[in-house]
Structure 1
Amino acid sequence: MKEALMIPRSEYPRPQFQREESSWQCLNGPWQFAFDFGNSGIDRKLYMPEAEFDREIVVPFCPESRLSGVEYKDFISAVWYRRTIRIAKAQLENRVLLHFGAVDYHAIVYVNGEKAGEHRGGYVSFSFDITALLREGENLLVVYAEDDNRHGLQPKGKQSSLFHSHGCDYTRTTGIWQTVWLEFVPKTYLKSVKTQSDYRNRTVTFTAAMAGQEADATLRACISFEGCVQKEVEVALNTGKTTFTVELDAVKLWDVGQPNLYDVTYTLYVKGTAVDTVAGYFGVRTVELRDHAIYLNGRPVFQRLILDQGFYPDGIYTAPTDEALRRDIELSMELGFNGARLHQKVFEERFLYWADHMGYLVWGEHASWGLDLHKMENLANFGAEWMEIVERDFNHPAIVGWCPFNETWGGQDPRLLQMMYAITKAMDTTRPVIDTSGNYHVVTDIYDIHDYEQDVDIFAQRYGAVTREKVYDKFEKQQYYEGQPYFISEYGGASWNASEGWGYGSAPKTEEEFMQRYAGLTTALMTNEAICAFCYTQLTDVEQEQNGLYQYDRSKKFSDAVYQAIRDTNRQTAAIERR
């Protein structure tokens, strides 16, 4: 137990699909480490046991971060990680899976000098079955990661492509930045379960898949709420996969600030014997677009969102603790926001777990900046990873919409946006999709714009004139409004006491001026029933961008009076909620 407490980020990394504690091992902590500036490590066979590594790093923190113990902030072409793992004879009688939360960008994994697999994409989880490469006792695990965010071939999000952080771009992340872990599973095991709820019909539909080729396999799902069993069903997995629907007797809905969640235990049987058990959860809720608004469970809900970029001063992309993930949601909700736009980064599953358990709405977005959208061939790099993202996070009730791109500034092949919209809709029929946030829309379910006007009178006049037929759009010659729900997905962004940083527009000179500006801008959006949502920039400062409602370290930036004014403004009843 003492040893477990010393391992950073040692909480279970995949809480919606969790096996018992004895079936997994966290591999976070000290690893041997080496820079590979010439990207020659494969030629030099750094994956072999005799290779020399001259440094140490604390996983899962990237080498640019202070928490990694390395804190090297220049460009890094490639890096190598190495550690030993001990495997018992009994574990080799079944299957051993090696999981990575995320590695930026191109990862190749070796076990005992042999290649176990590779993965491209810096933001999504992946795993390999490494059983055949293991032996009883000590085994050598080596990870290579190549990363170059300057060539336009990969999404980088807000990672700086210049030496220094600048403008809206911040410290880079290279290599491993989420939990690495082993999982010990039977030869035939439950691979995945997808859940889809329908509040009107009081149903939840499961699509379960197993790994292994057993002819006589069944799956039992035991659904409970607050410890009381609600339903139990057993179905056959004749082809290794099955879809079945369960009707719930008395539905408790997942909602804003009301995180009603059903627990479910999945048990896989082969020839009548239980071979695998996994615990999960789901929420019953339905998102719809109608009457020019976003409906949740049959009623219009005005989305009061905050822009959250998910950066941390000591861990960069990686939160220092699980509690830090939860705390960011608490800071937002305490100010009357009911959700967040997760901006230019794919957040780890633990964040989504807390959003699920706190009734917090979020929009899933890819880190699209840095990708050259003028080349259709980049669809392979972007699209493959985006599909993995949607697949991984589909089950989270907190996610109420998808947005693959942010601010595509034109000139690109419009088919790229059309394709990603179509792919997302094909994978998920239950959520709205914004093709590209801000500009320029090609095909979108919700019409969103960004507007950092700081003059309250101009802003109020602009959005007071919005109707269901005519909206404000400074790029109306590049994109065309077709009557969709209307969303101001970035606004505000004023700095406060920013000695070296920046914010949008002129900075307020007093706290009173800041309060009046926040209240004026926000109220203008909430009082027009033709506007369905806003997203204020932003939750915290991030390095030189000092326009957050909190400091970068999450400490308070304003007096309590300012925070109360923000809270009072956000908690007004919006026009669409009076219907």
Structure 2
Amino acid sequence: MKSCNLLLLTLLTLLGSVSMQAEALITNVDHRETTSLAGKWRVIVDPFETGFYSYRYEEIKNRDNGFSMDAKAADKSALLEYNFDSSGTLDVPGDWNSQREKLFFYEGTVWYRKKFDYHLQPGKRLFAYFGAINYEAIVYLNGQKVGTHTGGFTPFNFELTNYLKAGENSLVIKADNKRRSTAIPTVMSDWWNYGGLTRRVLLIEESNTFIRDYHIQLAKDSMETIAGWVQLDGAEGAQPVTVRIPEAGITQTVQTDERGYAEISFDADLSLWSPDNPKLYRVEISAGEELLEDEIGFRSVQVRGNDILLNGKAIFLRGICIHEESPLRPGRAYTPEDARILLEWSKELNCNFVRLAHYPHNEYMTRQADRMGILVWSEIPLYWTISWDNPEVYSNAVQQLTEMITRDKNKASVILWSVANETPVSEQRTKFLADLTKVARSLDPTRLITAALEAEWPKEGIAINDPLGAYLDVLGCNEYLGWYGSTDPRNFDKTWFTKYEKPLIISEFGAGALQGYHADPDTRWSEEFQAQVYERQIPMLDRIPFLRGTSPWILKDFKSPRRPLPYFQDYFNRKGLISDTGERKQAFYILQDYYRQIESGEGDSAR
């Protein structure tokens, strides 16, 4: 366990060399003393980055014409070519694309400003917490640069204590969602590049020394020993920390070292979390006068041969893929209600599992999955065409992986960390991703590692022989038989095989259909065509001896700039089983029945 913590410190040092402002993430924000900054923020759309660069393309620093200063004209003769006070507004959280028609396709910089009053008491510290900003964010408080963050789907925080004024404060954020060849994801993807402050923004007030993070889960391969660690943040690092689970009758006190770190380990007689029993315990962590509570489920996840074991028993993952789009309104999903509806639709399909594609979703999703008993695959957006030989890209991948794991490592629902989706095989790519699997296991040894691979298509069948498979616990594979390429039904008769003795999840399959468009089953875009692909897929799935889960593509239609076909697509990927307006398609009921048979142990579909 000590080696894991040392690796984390090494990773943070590495990240700090890339972004000098990197700060360790504060976890469990739902149970801390916070102030929400949700609401209307003043914004300036800045496609030429006039507020950041001079006409010589040099960064503007500490001058009134830099938008970060939020300056006001000193007198009637002063030249100041921006004004937040008279600019328009956008809702935060929220993406700019769905709020203004003129910003529907916009990729570039938008400046956000929020004023807030605050009076920080002696002995307290203040942090700004951002659920996510897509893609690059620079944060300023009262004209001073606080920090930068790169990555559009993971949380981050900066301490504001030394920049704060008593009374009114001006928080300015430069948000830039331009696609870049050295970004993660890169210039090519198949979802909408929603820009802005897409998730919640909170002010977190803490004591000088506080509980920043902790890992409290069952030890690897155990169903009765809780193990992990606690990390304090502050000058008074060495002090007693107590962990209590009142319902289980557990009270354990440990002494942190001078860095504020202590390991924990104790036996417990627990009711284990599962889809059938989503039991959560109230866990209390106290240090000094601080008491931090959480709701944690305890369960074991393992691999044995071709089987995935949950609490020691083999399980088949009846899943669906989900993008982070709101179920009933345009734009990003970012509310607890969004999460509840999306996961309720998944339960209606008889799912016990969801793949949150292709990036970490907001924390409401994993919190709600914990409560509803839904297993989760969570992944970082290493997608398609990454710059595998670029050290800075690797450092950013480590950062995003670390932030994803740090936020959700205490969620019982999350059983799979995914390091990639549909990445072309090369020596550089395999080393890059293999190294990431080692980082993931060091940060969290209790969960399984996977990736969505592409299959090979030899004459004798369909093979999963990607060299990355050697580094994974569970194989994922995307295939679109009947949609891309030939629609010949004989393609579904192929035999699947692999050189790895590991469980397989078919992480994507499906076909597009416009809800309400009906024709014969051979007419593309009809509901009947999509339904036929599912009907042909299911018997093939039942013949794969090492198959242990499926997550078809996808729960709901979602926006994508790659899909411009008029009428049938109109910038939507139409592979959803539910339309963008919430209507079920025929294939929804085919998958629902298939999963019902698996769950009940009926017929050929039973596993």
Place the TM-score, normalised by the shorter chain, in its bin.
0.7 to 0.9
How big is the shift at 1:95?
0.7
The answer as to whether partners of 2:507 and 2:551 remain within 8 angstroms in 1 is yes
The answer as to whether partners of 2:339 and 2:368 remain within 8 angstroms in 1 is yes
The answer as to whether partners of 2:527 and 2:585 remain within 8 angstroms in 1 is no
For 2:509 and 2:115, the matched residues in 1 are separated by: 49
Secondary structure in structure 1 of the residue aligned to 2:500: coil
Identify the match of residue 247 of structure 1 among 264, 267, 279: 267
Identify the match of residue 26 of structure 1 among 10, 20, 36: 36
Alignment-mate amino acid for residue 152 of structure 1: S
**Structure 1 residues 378-387 or 398-407, which shifts more?**
378-387
Task: Confirm whether residue 139 of structure 1 aligns to residue 158 of structure 2.
Answer: no
Alignment-mate amino acid for residue 444 of structure 2: D
Unaligned runs of 5+ in 1: 1-12, 162-167, 472-480
Alignment-mate amino acid for residue 146 of structure 1: D
Change (3 A) 1:193 1:495: same
The answer as to whether partners of 2:248 and 2:270 remain within 8 angstroms in 1 is no
Task: Confirm whether residue 525 of structure 1 aligns to residue 544 of structure 2.
Answer: no
What is the number of equivalent residue pairs in this alignment?
Answer: 526
Give the structure 2 partner of residue 84 of structure 1: 115
For 1:343 and 1:86, the matched residues in 2 are separated by: 38
Identify the match of residue 195 of structure 2 among 167, 174, 190: 174
- Residues 376-432 of structure 1: CA distance to partner in whole angstroms, max 9, x if unpaired? 332122222222222222211111111111111235613212222222222222222
Change (3 A) 1:499 1:520: closer
Alignment-mate amino acid for residue 448 of structure 1: G
Unaligned runs of 5+ in 2: 1-24, 53-59, 72-81, 456-465, 560-571
1:61-460 correspondence to structure 2 within 5 Å = 61-66=94-99, 72-90=103-121, 93-149=123-179, 151-156=180-185, 169-198=190-219, 200-214=222-236, 217-224=239-246, 228=247, 230-239=249-258, 240-248=260-268, 250-269=269-288, 274=289, 276-312=290-326, 318-319=332-333, 321-369=335-383, 372-377=386-391, 378-411=393-426, 413=428, 414-438=430-454, 440-442=466-468, 443-454=471-482, 458=490
- Residues 258-289 of structure 1: CA distance to partner in whole angstroms, max 9, x if unpaired? 211111011111xxxx2x11111222111111
The answer as to whether partners of 1:339 and 1:362 remain within 8 angstroms in 2 is yes
For 2:236 and 2:472, the matched residues in 1 are separated by: 43
Change (3 A) 1:89 1:422: closer
The answer as to whether partners of 2:93 and 2:334 remain within 8 angstroms in 1 is no
For 1:559 and 1:490, the matched residues in 2 are separated by: 15
Identify the match of residue 57 of structure 1 among 81, 84, 90: 90
- Residues 479-517 of structure 1: CA distance to partner in whole angstroms, max 9, x if unpaired? xx33222232212234255769xxx99648675x76565
Secondary structure in structure 1 of the residue aligned to 2:547: coil
Secondary structure in structure 2 of the residue aligned to 1:210: strand
Q: TM-score, normalised by structure 1?
A: 0.83
The answer as to whether partners of 2:513 and 2:526 remain within 8 angstroms in 1 is no
The answer as to whether partners of 1:197 and 1:285 remain within 8 angstroms in 2 is yes
Change (3 A) 1:36 1:313: farther
For 1:565 and 1:508, the matched residues in 2 are separated by: 22
RMSD: 3.1
Alignment-mate amino acid for residue 235 of structure 1: V
Secondary structure in structure 1 of the residue aligned to 2:551: strand
The answer as to whether partners of 1:208 and 1:243 remain within 8 angstroms in 2 is yes
Task: Confirm whether residue 490 of structure 1 aligns to residue 508 of structure 2.
Answer: yes
How big is the shift at 1:253?
0.7
- Residues 242-271 of structure 1: CA distance to partner in whole angstroms, max 9, x if unpaired? 0111211x32011123211111011111xx
**Structure 1 residues 215-224 or 292-301, which shifts more?**
215-224
The answer as to whether partners of 1:289 and 1:295 remain within 8 angstroms in 2 is yes
For 1:29 and 1:116, the matched residues in 2 are separated by: 22
Change (3 A) 1:457 1:205: same
**Structure 1 residues 444-453 or 344-353, which shifts more?**
444-453
For 2:587 and 2:489, the matched residues in 1 are separated by: 25
Secondary structure in structure 2 of the residue aligned to 1:152: coil
For 1:215 and 1:365, the matched residues in 2 are separated by: 33
Alignment-mate amino acid for residue 536 of structure 1: P
How big is the shift at 1:518?
2.7
Alignment-mate amino acid for residue 38 of structure 1: F
**Structure 1 residues 423-432 or 286-295, which shifts more?**
423-432
Change (3 A) 1:458 1:444: farther
Give the structure 2 partner of residue 476 of structure 1: none
Q: Percent identity?
A: 23
Alignment-mate amino acid for residue 264 of structure 1: V
Give the structure 1 partner of residue 74 of structure 2: none
For 2:475 and 2:588, the matched residues in 1 are separated by: 35
The answer as to whether partners of 1:108 and 1:119 remain within 8 angstroms in 2 is yes
Give the structure 2 partner of residue 3 of structure 1: none
How big is the shift at 1:569?
4.4
- Residues 529-572 of structure 1: CA distance to partner in whole angstroms, max 9, x if unpaired? 42111121110111321121111132333499657635534535
Change (3 A) 1:39 1:576: farther
Secondary structure in structure 1 of the residue aligned to 2:351: coil
For 2:516 and 2:558, the matched residues in 1 are separated by: 12
